[in-house]
Structure 1
Amino acid sequence: MKKIEKIYNKLILIGNGFDLALGFKTSYNDFLFWLLKSEVEKIRIT
């Protein structure tokens, strides 16, 4: 009998705001802006 391997992708967000208090760009909005910007750059290159 073959063993079936399951792969799960999980994202766990844990935070206390310490990074934001220090001024790091680690908020969800910063991530979305970075993602959108990177996708626009991909379109410009091609």
Structure 2
Amino acid sequence: MFGEPFTRAHLYAFSCIWTALIVFSVVQIKQAPGQKKWKRSSLKA
């Protein structure tokens, strides 16, 4: 893009980051329906 070299190491890192992002997103989307993670608990002092 800016005339910088794109080596195999860059390609490997780029691929790993995007793969991890996709896996994380898919897991979050599958867990989302009907899942209430942030329940407000009633604390009595």
TM-score by length of 2: 0.47
Greater share of helix residues, 1 or 2? 2
Rg bigger for which structure? 2
Q: Which gives a bigger RCO, structure 1 or 2 (Cα 8 Å, sep 6+)?
A: 1
TM-score by length of 1: 0.46
